[in-house]
Structure 1
Amino acid sequence: MSLDAIFRPRTVAVVGASKREGTLGHKVMNNLIRMGFEGILYPVNPRTDVIQGYKCYPSVSAIPDELDLAILIVPKEVIHEVVDECGQKGVKALIVISAGFREIGGEGIKREERLLEQIHRYGMRMVGPNCMGVFNTAPDVRLDATFSPARPHQGNIGFISQSGALGVVILELANHLQLGISLFASMGNKADISDNDLLEYYFADSHTDLILMYLENLADPRRFLEIARKATRKKPVIVVKAGKTAAGARAASSHTGALADSEVAINTLLHQCGVIRVPTIEEMFTLGMAFANQPLPKSNRVAVLTNAGGPGILATDALIGNGLKMAKLSEETRQRLRQILPEEASVHNPVDMISTADHEHYRQGLEILLEDENVDA
């Protein structure tokens, strides 16, 4: 089943919508309205008639229209009743923001197992539970089904986060760095829709050119390997995988109910499928900025252009150490560089233009290097 009912819904019910500022039900409704959702909104709350100018319905079954998506922001004690009502109504997909499931252990595990049984019985798909929601900035959708205070700009980066709190950080950082976002999803406990489902959907999405992920565990490593191998041939995939230490893995388990993965196995798997693993959110954004604004190189032959010998040597060591190759410059390229550079400059790779180089030398040098068929980047 496609995830379009989640990312491209035409009708959305917000179950637990609220007039009271500061509540999740108010924040989600406000974000949907603020974003300018192109579909139809149906707030659901039996204790009021109007919320933020929209007619409010006492229940999902009272809504006259068919529903693609229902966002559930209700107490865990009534979740099963609400899910049954959604299933009987024919709702195609759910975003369950409510918490109190596998992440708390004990009864929470049983509650999540029953929730999963319900959505399977009705043929629905579900993001969550214990999640922050999703959004899609495409102009014909404009869906912000989250409670995040950050307002994303339209762009070409798809984000997948297993943590709601880090999801908020990711969105705020993206805004601060003026990076545009196409799709975002906070998976929470990923009881149904997992990182694999989202990676596959993002790969197929024409508005997404780069995929960034924060993961605490992999739902199905073999399927991830299969999907990621296809995805990374066309789109860069950058992952922050948490829980590297035993203590971190235990913390991940108590956070979203994630099961620990073997660190060695994870590193091997990510390397095999071409996924770039980074240790921090900051480094993920550093690489993300480069990939979002630069075309992918054809291969791994790199030229270094510098105005000092030391940085050129350090860059060479870093490139070789990361499996890249120093490009062998053609004779024509070296002759062209010689024409614009002082006699003391080195026209071999790394190209050292010496300290007298100015912005015009850099401009001309870059143009010459990028025109060399032996240089990929």
Structure 2
Amino acid sequence: MSVRNLKKLFRPQSVAIIGASNAPGTVGAIAMRNLLQGGFKGPIMPVNPKYQAIQGVLAYKDVNDLPLVPDLAVVCVPPAELSGVIDRLGARGCPAAVVVTTGLDLLPSADGQTSLTQDLMATAQRHDLRLLGPSSLGVMVPGIGLNASFAPHAALPGRIAFVSQSGAMCAAVLDWAAPKGIGFSHFISLGAGLDTNFGDILDYLGSDPDTRAILLYIESIDERRNFMSAARAAARNKPVLAIKAGRNADGARAARSHTGQMAGSDLVYDAAMRRAGMLRVYDIEELFAAVETLSVVSRPKGERLAILTNGGGIGVMAVDDLYDLGGSLAELSEETLGKLDTVLPAGWSYSNPVDIIGDAPGTRYADALSVLVQAREIDSILVMHTPVSVASSTEIAEKVIALARQHKRSNITTCWVGDQLVSSARKAFHAAGIPTFDTPRQAVQAFMHTVEYRRNQELLMETPLSLPTEFTPNTVIARMVVETALSQGRTVLSEPEAKAILNAYGIPTVETHIARTPEDCRAIAEEMGGPLALKILSPDLTHKSDRGGVQLNIETPEECFQAAEQMTRRLRAALPDVRLEGFTVQRMERRPGAHELIVGVATDPIFGPVILFGQGGTAVEVIGDRAVALPPLNMALGAELISRTRVYKLLQGYRAHAPADMEAICLTLIQVAQMIVDIPEIIELDINPLFADENGVVALDARMAIRKTSLTSGADRMAIRPYPRELEEDFTMKGGRTCLLRPIRPEDEPNHHILVSRLTPEDIRFRFFGLVQELPHSQMARLTQIDYDREMAFIATDTDANGQQETLGVVRAVTDPDNEETEFSIVVRSDLKGSGLARQMMKKMIRYCRDRGTHTMVGQVLKDNGRMLHFVESLGFRRVKTIDHDVVEVALDLQGSLPF
């Protein structure tokens, strides 16, 4: 992750065009023309030894002849010349370059040992020169007149940023947006993304004040953790929307299990975007329609839609589309129905959709809408109109606009169906900032964009529940099982081995024993007693039931012996080459009414491990009820994953069936997620079926695929860094009280509120530079739901007199994307000053930041907070400057010697 030199790339004061040309139709000529016509105010310096002037501007023979060092270079030279040009630019001190040159991978470098791409990157890194491209269409920042591209059209100014891996898509979007008057704050073609990728751009645009929304066209992701971290950070500040093109079937072809088929699937991109708080769309028109809606319509508090229409047909179409897209129609209260009945003529629909009859004039629309905007059971309103000869479409639109302004409601969307007769009404809506759409489906889809965006944003802000049961996995046993199998050259664990690992992580399993022969089966059955289940034990059979390898409801030892004999004969006859290692004899788990679920793990080629949940059983592929999520998980994320399946409704209970134990199911998901953090060798896992009912869960069958790895922790292969448990430590304060120092977790939010509430007014002023009564949930969620890959907060916790966990203090460090500087803050409960806790927490944070390679730690302290200034100076900080007369900035060289 890095925003190094991106300001120079997107806000240069001067631009050089290397390879500029007068030859019509060449890239160099088009790039020069675009830059001149864009209105850029700084120096424009063409470089080409063939010309004295290019398009009327004095040209220079070489980079070394430039009169000043350009902030940005646009490079349009042949591949063989590229590294030399970048080398000379870097030697001059140029900080950024857009490389439009293509075909680098087709030619070797000068030494013949590396590719031109590798040579180019090495040269740029040597000079700390930031590259956009190669194979980039260029970059446009219309607000400053910068058109450093060879695009056929210029972008209009606006507040939307568009970032694309495809130059062709850039050209298409420009052509589509121009006649519609859609403008951009930034228009960026990543090209090959050799040095600058989506994560870097998101970091920059996420804090850009001129960008209201960010749109992405994605073909592939390379640095998954950088992308996820940057996307989550940007999505907290503004809408981030994406089109993902292309689907990878390689993972599915190579899969050996139900869950493995998810690897490389489009479902994983869906899960990643949802987890990042982004909104995924599927075409250009939907992309910009979603932006219009999200930027104008406030995020609804709920998902209940009311439809107001003068045409029953279009109202019914809208309802059909709403249900197709997973939406909810508001159920109108008796109070609302009564109010509508007083303002509407006889014959109106008396339900939602509110059909106010085809001849409805503007006043009738306004009367009905004034009731709906005040109804507490309604979250958003779709106003629809089909033109009729007895009413003016424009006059009705004006009434709707006036009422929306009067009530200051921004959750109104409109759909005026037609063309010429409604064109002026649509223009009025556009001018008023009210989203309007041509068809019922477009309008409903726009509403669902706000719903989906709201759901994704809530995942970023939701405080998860604590675990219903604290579990401490027996990682020693789990690792021993895996290492034994790998030492024997095996990549698939037997069912008993897989269940042993599940047991080590606290996941209930049925009693299972291994029998090598039919006689062993009889002996085990005598010890266990019926009813039993018998299964073939073979590393070559994934779906045992399909081959007659499962026998249920065995009551006697003799039945068990006979079933084993028959299975052996069938298998030898049908599949003579299959390895038969014996049988498993299991306790029959009879749970009438229990749901058969599947929980699994797959390793995605882009995002690493993913968790699957859905309806299980032998027909799992046919049913196709599944959802995936990126680990790590907590109770809230586990519940959200479950809610995206069809079986979720059954789990909630129906008729005589009691609700399943949702906490037990969520805990199983968390335990599986922790398993892949602790054991990086696990690449696939199926628990199918997992029985679930009101009494909890139990795993009946399990399959696990493993492989050797050099990783010591599964966290290194995950797209989102999990909770770093290894950073926990105990500390004994002066006076003997012991507390736990650990990284903060999302579920710490309630205790964080209590910590702030117990601070003295002076401590609050010193920490927040002002009087703060209470931090809102959105801010507190941001403080507790941190990205461990980019920031860190350590808290001190202990139990109070009532045995409840409490937070005693917190130290926080937020690091810039380049890992150059981190800013700290610390607060300890007022009654614990002098206990040594604050010093220990600061020392822990300093060591942590130093170990991850951060250069400098800084902090801001009120000038009259003498105690804090003395405290940090004793840790090696020095005062570096004064801000606004009353704030002192202190700094510590983390890579230098420390006084402790």
The counterpart of 1:135, out of the listed 140, 143, 147, is 140
Tell whether the 8 Å contact from 1:153 to 1:181 is kept in structure 2 after alignment: yes
What's 1:375 paired with?
A: 379
Find out whether 1:232 has 2:235 as its counterpart: yes
Question: Structure 1: 5+ residue runs without aligned partners?
Answer: 248-259
Distance 2:373 2:236 in 1: 22
Which deviations, in whole Å up to 9, do the C-alpha atoms of 1:61-80 show, x marking residues without a partner?
Answer: 21121221111000001001
What's 2:349 paired with?
A: 346
What's 1:38 paired with?
A: 41
What's 1:88 paired with?
A: 91
The alpha carbon displacement at 1:201 in A equals 1.9
The alpha carbon displacement at 1:204 in A equals 1.4
**Secondary structure at the residue paired with 1:303?**
strand
Tell whether the 8 Å contact from 1:232 to 1:274 is kept in structure 2 after alignment: yes
The alpha carbon displacement at 1:245 in A equals 5.5
Distance 2:129 2:21 in 1: 25
Q: Residues 176 and 295 from structure 1, CA distance in 2 versus in 1: closer, same or farther, beyond 3 angstroms?
A: farther
Which deviations, in whole Å up to 9, do the C-alpha atoms of 1:206-252 show, x marking residues without a partner?
Answer: 122122211110122333222223333442222111112659xxxxx
Q: Residues 358 and 226 from structure 1, CA distance in 2 versus in 1: closer, same or farther, beyond 3 angstroms?
A: farther
Q: Residues 238 and 366 from structure 1, CA distance in 2 versus in 1: closer, same or farther, beyond 3 angstroms?
A: farther
The alpha carbon displacement at 1:163 in A equals 0.7
In the alignment of these two chains, the number of paired residues is 362
What's 1:178 paired with?
A: 181
Distance 1:332 1:234 in 2: 38
**Secondary structure at the residue paired with 1:28?**
helix
Q: Residues 145 and 296 from structure 1, CA distance in 2 versus in 1: closer, same or farther, beyond 3 angstroms?
A: farther
Distance 1:364 1:236 in 2: 34
Tell whether the 8 Å contact from 1:50 to 1:56 is kept in structure 2 after alignment: yes
Tell whether the 8 Å contact from 1:217 to 1:261 is kept in structure 2 after alignment: no
Percentage of identical aligned residues: 36
The alpha carbon displacement at 1:265 in A equals 1.4
Find out whether 1:50 has 2:50 as its counterpart: no
The alpha carbon displacement at 1:298 in A equals 4.6
The counterpart of 2:117, out of the listed 90, 105, 112, is 112
Q: Residues 370 and 66 from structure 1, CA distance in 2 versus in 1: closer, same or farther, beyond 3 angstroms?
A: farther
What's 1:156 paired with?
A: 159
**Secondary structure at the residue paired with 2:242?**
strand
Q: Residues 333 and 217 from structure 1, CA distance in 2 versus in 1: closer, same or farther, beyond 3 angstroms?
A: same
What's 2:63 paired with?
A: 60
Distance 2:379 2:98 in 1: 47
Tell whether the 8 Å contact from 2:200 to 2:230 is kept in structure 1 after alignment: no
The counterpart of 2:266, out of the listed 259, 263, 281, is 263
**Secondary structure at the residue paired with 2:161?**
strand
The counterpart of 1:211, out of the listed 214, 235, 240, is 214
Distance 2:174 2:366 in 1: 34
Distance 1:298 1:155 in 2: 28
Q: Residues 333 and 238 from structure 1, CA distance in 2 versus in 1: closer, same or farther, beyond 3 angstroms?
A: same
**Secondary structure at the residue paired with 1:346?**
coil
**Secondary structure at the residue paired with 1:27?**
helix
More deviation in 173-182 or 90-99? 173-182
The alpha carbon displacement at 1:314 in A equals 3.9
The alpha carbon displacement at 1:348 in A equals 4.0
What's 2:25 paired with?
A: 22
Tell whether the 8 Å contact from 2:159 to 2:184 is kept in structure 1 after alignment: yes
Which deviations, in whole Å up to 9, do the C-alpha atoms of 1:316-341 show, x marking residues without a partner?
Answer: 34435545443455666545433432
**Secondary structure at the residue paired with 1:357?**
coil
What's 2:359 paired with?
A: 356
**Secondary structure at the residue paired with 1:304?**
strand
Distance 2:370 2:45 in 1: 55
Distance 1:337 1:358 in 2: 15
The alpha carbon displacement at 1:274 in A equals 2.9
The alpha carbon displacement at 1:292 in A equals 4.8
Q: Residues 191 and 302 from structure 1, CA distance in 2 versus in 1: closer, same or farther, beyond 3 angstroms?
A: same
Q: Residues 47 and 168 from structure 1, CA distance in 2 versus in 1: closer, same or farther, beyond 3 angstroms?
A: same
**Secondary structure at the residue paired with 2:185?**
strand
One-letter amino acid matched to 1:316: V
Higher strand share: 2
More deviation in 165-174 or 304-313? 304-313
**Secondary structure at the residue paired with 1:155?**
strand
Which deviations, in whole Å up to 9, do the C-alpha atoms of 1:26-75 show, x marking residues without a partner?
Answer: 11111111110022111111111211222111111211212211110000
Q: Residues 371 and 192 from structure 1, CA distance in 2 versus in 1: closer, same or farther, beyond 3 angstroms?
A: farther
One-letter amino acid matched to 2:90: G
The alpha carbon displacement at 1:188 in A equals 0.7
The alpha carbon displacement at 1:368 in A equals 4.2
One-letter amino acid matched to 1:207: D
What's 1:307 paired with?
A: 310
Distance 1:35 1:297 in 2: 40
Question: Structure 2: 5+ residue runs without aligned partners?
Answer: 251-262, 381-410, 412-900
Distance 1:23 1:246 in 2: 39
One-letter amino acid matched to 1:134: V
Distance 2:121 2:272 in 1: 28
Which deviations, in whole Å up to 9, do the C-alpha atoms of 1:73-94 show, x marking residues without a partner?
Answer: 0000100100100110100011
More deviation in 116-125 or 314-323? 314-323
One-letter amino acid matched to 1:338: D
Find out whether 1:122 has 2:156 as its counterpart: no
The alpha carbon displacement at 1:375 in A equals 2.1
Tell whether the 8 Å contact from 1:196 to 1:219 is kept in structure 2 after alignment: no
Q: Residues 225 and 337 from structure 1, CA distance in 2 versus in 1: closer, same or farther, beyond 3 angstroms?
A: farther
One-letter amino acid matched to 2:220: N
The alpha carbon displacement at 1:353 in A equals 2.0
More deviation in 63-72 or 236-245? 236-245
Tell whether the 8 Å contact from 1:329 to 1:375 is kept in structure 2 after alignment: no
Distance 1:168 1:58 in 2: 31
What's 2:543 paired with?
A: none
One-letter amino acid matched to 1:70: A
Query: Which structure is higher in RCO with an 8 Å CA cutoff and minimum separation 6?
Result: 1
**Secondary structure at the residue paired with 2:67?**
coil
What's 1:192 paired with?
A: 195
**Secondary structure at the residue paired with 1:156?**
strand
